[in-house]
Amino acid sequence: MSTYILAADSQYAGRSAQEAISSMAGDGVLFEQFLCGDDDAFLALFRRHNSRVFTYCLKIVGRREQAEDITQETWERVIALRQKSDVIRSPIGFLLRVARNLCLDHLKVRKQHITIDKLSEASHPQQPAGEPSALEEIVLTALHCLPFKYREVLILHTYCGYQFEEIAEMLGKSPEAIWARASRARAELRTKVAGEYEREQKRLQRGNI
Q: Domains for the chain: give ranges and CATH numbers.
A: 17-208 (1.10.1740.10)
Give the Cβ contact number of residue 174 at 10 Å. Answer: 13
Element (H, E) at 137: helix 134-143
Q: How far is CA 158 from CA 56, 150, 167, 207, in A?
A: 10, 12, 12, 34
pLDDT in tens, 83-121: 876 677 788 888 999 999 999 888 777 544 434 344 334
pLDDT level of residue 122 (50, 70, 90 thresholds): very low
Sign of dihedral through CA atoms 115, 120, 121, 125?
A: negative
pLDDT level of residue 200 (50, 70, 90 thresholds): confident
pLDDT for position 115: 42
- Confirm if 154 and 143 have CB atoms less than 8 A apart: yes
Lowest-pLDDT range, 7-11, 24-28, 48-52, 100-104? 7-11
